[in-house]
Amino acid sequence: MARRPNEEGEWRWLFLVGLACIVCFSIYFMLSPLFATRISADWSNGLQIAKDEVVEDISGCCKGVEHQELWGAVAKWGTDHLVNSSRECCQACKTMCGDDGPCLCNSWVYCGDQQRCGDKYRQCWLKKQEDMFSPDIQESHSEVYWTSGLVYGSKGIVALETQYGAIRLKLLPDCAPKSVAYILELLKLRHCAGCHFYRAEGRGVAWDTEGRQLTKDITGPPYAVLQGSLEAQSFAFKELPLEACPMMKRGMVGWLGGGPDFFISLANHGEWYPKHTVFATVIREDMALVEKLADLPTTLNVWNGVKVYVLNENVNLKVTRSKTT
């Protein structure tokens, strides 16, 4: 997945090249191992993905945020509900929040540190947030020994509003809790100035309408992707950690690196596995709008040696609560 060039980074690189030309060969020879080490470290970090972040299917996710305690109305008391892991606690909540019927549990709190938890060890509290998009966070810092998570079932739908219509997204807090927490912060903003789509590439002849690959070799472009940024000018963005990285399928929404650049995949991309955190999926009926945006007028450009199609005019967007489910 190509990222927009960083102009500051390009000037820094040119400066280093110029400096290398000025200094003598012996000094350059002494510094070259440092450059090699830095490059090797960056490459290694890109490949060392935690084992629990590599998942082939998002249905298997059950993650929470460590050192965080959520409050809320109790659906099941932890004093009478002991389990062996945060995952078990999450799964217990999921059983009370199916796709059909009411969601009786949309958050959970687990204590898994035997030494620090004391008599609260293994307690699993199942709770119901009054507003699932604004969870009641009691404490969130390194001294908190609880792990908490959200469960949305089929309910957690937000929208990316554009002048062409709204793209509804089903958030995945059980796969990417920290990414979803950032999206919830964007929901609080009256405006999302700076949030926009800037790259648009349809499926071409390489993929069918279900995202299945039709040709053996795909050179691209197009790469079947709608790409943009969710960096709001009024909100300080902090790079997000890598979370669940499933097999990329049509309709999945993921980050480039740690964000804020993101993309919607218009096709299945097995070659991108496991590289990108997926924090949402597009509601199936709204993929038609994604396809429409991918067909807007573009201009061919080259980013870091990769040919891409950039929108002639950016499409501004805002993150809102979905008016329909």
Indicate if 249 and 113 belong to the same structural domain: no
- Reported as a single tens digit per residue, the pLDDT across 287-325 is 999 999 999 999 999 998 889 999 999 999 999 999 776
pTM: 0.83
Task: Give a yes or no: residue 78 inside a domain.
Answer: yes
Domain ends where: 129, 150, 171?
Answer: 150
How many Cα atoms within 13 Å fall on the side-chain side of residue 25?
0
Three-state DSSP class for residue 179: helix
Whether 140 and 196 share a structural domain: no
**What DSSP state is assigned to residue 240?**
P
DSSP secondary structure code for residue 291 in this structure: H
Give the least confident one: 25-34, 131-140, 243-252: 25-34
Cα–Cα distance between 177 and 86 in angstroms, integer? 13
Q: For residues 39, 45, 47 and 48, what is the CA-based torsion angle, rounded to 10 degrees?
A: 150
The CATH code of the domain that includes 201 is: 2.40.100.10
In a domain, 25, yes or no: no
Same domain, yes or no: 88 and 177: no
Sign of the torsion formed by the C-alpha atoms of 80, 84, 86 and 88: negative
CATH of the domain at 99: 3.50.4.10
My answer on whether 236 and 101 are in the same domain is no
Q: pLDDT per residue over 36-95, tens digit each?
A: 222 222 222 333 444 455 555 787 899 999 999 999 999 999 999 999 999 999 999 999
Domain assignment of residue 228, yes or no: yes
Q: Is residue 30 part of a domain?
A: no
Nearest alpha-carbon partner for 155 in 110, 104, 121, 109: 104
Inside any domain, residue 35 = no
* Together in a domain, 251 and 271: yes
Residue 252 near residue 278, CB atoms below 8 Å: yes
Written as one string, the DSSP assignment of 90-133 is HHHHHTTS-SSS--S--EEEEE--HHHHGGGTTBEEEEE-SSTT
User: Are 85 and 106 members of one domain?
Assistant: yes
Are residue 91 and residue 199 in the same domain, yes or no? no
For 150-197, how does the pLDDT look when each residue is reduced to its tens digit (9 = 90+)?
999 888 999 999 999 999 999 999 999 999 999 999 999 988 999 999
- Phi, then psi, of 9 in degrees rounded to 5: -65, -35
- CB proximity list for 118: less than 8 A, separation 6 or greater: none
The reply to whether 199 falls in a domain is: yes
Residues 179 and 130 in one domain: no
Cis? peptide before 246, omega within 30° of 0: no
**End-to-end C-alpha distance for the chain, whole angstroms:** 30
Q: Is the Cβ–Cβ distance between 134 and 184 less than 8 Å? A: yes
Note the pLDDT tens digit of each residue in 227-279.
999 999 988 899 999 999 999 999 999 999 999 999 999 999 988 888 899 99
Same domain, 196 and 119: no
- How many domains does the chain fold into? 2
Compute the distance between CA of residue 223 and CA of residue 199 in angstroms, rounded to an integer: 11
130 and 210 share one domain: no
- Judge contact between 224 and 204, C-beta under 8 A: yes
In a domain, 41, yes or no: no
Domain that holds residue 249: 157-321
Residues 144 and 163 in one domain: no
Place of tokens 């938890």: 117
User: Which of residues 116, 150, 184 is at a domain's end?
Assistant: 150
| Domain identity same for 116 and 256 | no
Question: Is 11 within a domain?
Answer: no
d(CA 209, CA 124): 43
The structure tokens listed for 64 are: 């929470």
Show which of 150, 166, 201 is a domain's final residue: 150
In terms of Cβ atoms closer than 10 Å to its own Cβ (0-12, 13-18, 19+), residue 314 is: middle
